[in-house]
Amino acid sequence: MVSSVKSVAVALLVAVCGAASERLRGARCARRRAGCAARARAGGDYASFLAVPYAKQPLAALRFQELQPAEPWKGCRDATKPGPICPQRDLFYGPTMRASEMSEECIHANVYMPLQYLPAASEGAAPRNRTLLPVLVYIHGGGFGFGSGDPDLHGPEYLMGDNVVVITFNYRLGPFGFLSLNSSSVPGNAGLRDMVTLLRWVCRNARAFGGDPGDVTLAGQSAGAASAHILSLSEAARGLFKRAILMSGTSTRSFFSTSPAYAQYVAQLFLTNLGINGTDPEEVHRLLIDTPIEKIIDAQNDLQDVIGITVFVPVVESAHPGVEIILDNDPEILQSQGRGKDIPFLMGFTNAECQTFRPRFESIDIISRIAEQPVLVMPPPAIYVTPLDELPNKIGQIVQRYFNGTPNLNKFIKLCSESYFVYPTLKLAEMRAANGGAPVYLYRFTYEADYSVFQEGLRLKYRGTGHSEDLTLLFRANHVLGERAISPRDHKMVDAMTTYVTNFMLHSNPTKGVAGWPAVKREKLQYQNIITPELVTTEVSRDLRDTMTFFDNIYSSSS
């Protein structure tokens, strides 16, 4: 039984050594408890450091700016409790997350490692001849607008039996993380910059936690997966990680558009809501700095109610003096050019993705909205690549295929699942295979757990596996599960999922290179159908091929 919620006190220290250095060391601290030790699912203890700042907090004039180096502290820093979550309005997680304080002082990481690999007090950072562990850096999801990396939903217990270091973290969300004014003061993609800052921090400090800075795997789910995909295409993140895991999310043909036209549209709505009407971006920036956080959140809430779930998102950037570009072109163009093709991918989707969004779709009455604005059936990126005179025809094709003249919520959920998650994942796998380079391993997750964290937490009932349900068999959802022991059947699936991931971290292959999970080939698009812990290789079905062909046509233009 997992018992990590009953943390056993251990005297551990996370300390910055010297004003000019951020080197962190694990050590014994005689009087103050600075970290925690806990028991992993497979036995053995692990060390836990929570709410470790990886940069200076972006307050006042630093709001919207690139993060600055963390300020040093003296003595023992208490790392036993989660810190505040970043300002947000949660539209998805609900009771699966704990009620938490929100603050702009939210830039922190949570670090977990097997206790025996934590360097001793006398060692400082791990010596060079010590065995170093592979590092998993995980980016949480939440539509770029909500969520956190904290252990209430992303507990490390399942992974801690496998001799890896796990790092989760918070990054700026909503307008704080993804508002773009296309200026040097608010260039956009602040949340992505936070992720790059975190990865650089990991490279500098991984040894202090027994981790190998040269063996980092970047993983993410939903918006976190899309972010990981963007970082695989970004020159700014080159060399900061070796491989990537994308769970239900890509940045190509996805649930959001990186078009600067969309970013400008949302920014204008946002500023108008705040009563900011200036045209000078530097003056607008000054006004935004002076705007109370509550007012910014209220304006974001209004936009979420108008647009749906995802509002502020990554954007293709223009060049500005003194600003490092994170996303320099449309992700699909970068992908087609072979950017990032040397990074192995493990990627997949579930078979009932959008079922978990049902409460949100009901609350905004999505079917009535579609009747008023039929363009809502279009995938967001397709809107910005389709000529205006072709839009009605594309909308009509989608309505005919998915609604057959009578829209309802179940039909929309199927459209949502296939257009936002299934098709983009299959298409990216196909594109990567066509470009050559590092291998891509694809899965379709169809396992229905005995205890579904999201169905229980959100009080839902549906058949299939919804968005985020594969994640709960990789990370422990501590807030929902509490002291509950998962069933033997679910435990076997946890073992399988963690084994696939740790094998991929160690070997860039989820099965150590043995037969059973072949990489995607240009001439054969196949995946693992994860319905049981046993491997089942499946070629993409005729129905899925038909879905791919359909959306290929939606994204194509006759002009």
Active site residues: 222, 353, 467
**What one-character DSSP code corresponds to residue 264?**
H
Tell me if 417 sits within 8 A of 406, measured CB to CB. Answer: no
549: buried, middle or exposed (CB in 10 Å: 19+, 13-18, 0-12)? Answer: exposed
Residue 447 gets which letter from DSSP?
Answer: -
Nearest alpha-carbon partner for 252 in 429, 468, 445: 429
Do 329 and 190 meet the contact criterion of CB atoms below 8 Å apart?
Answer: no
Angle between helices 190-205 and 223-232 (to 10 degrees): 70
Report residue 128 as tokens: 């060079």
CA distance 170 to 141: 10
Give the integer Cα–Cα distance in Å for 532 and 211.
Answer: 32
SS3 content of the chain, % helix, strand, coil (to 5): 40, 15, 45
Determine contact, residues 496/479, Cβ cutoff 8 Å: no
SS (H, E, C) 7-66: CEEECCEEEECCCCCCCEEEECCCCCCCEEEEECCCCCEEEEEEEEECCCCCCHHHCCCC
For residue 443, the SS3 value is: strand
Instruction: Tokens for 542, please give them.
Output: 């005729």
Tokens of 196: 């790059």
Q: Which residues contact 401 (CB under 8 A, 6 or more apart)?
A: 550
Q: Which residue has the tokens 């705040």?
A: 274
Quickly tell me which residue has 């549209």 as its tokens: 265
- Number of H helices and E strands in the chain, helices first, is 17, 14
DSSP calls for 117-176? GSPPTTTSSPPTTS--EEEEEEE--STTTS---STTTSB-TTTGGGS-EEEEE----HHH
From the number of C-beta atoms within 10 Å of its C-beta (0-12, 13-18, 19+), residue 115 rates as buried
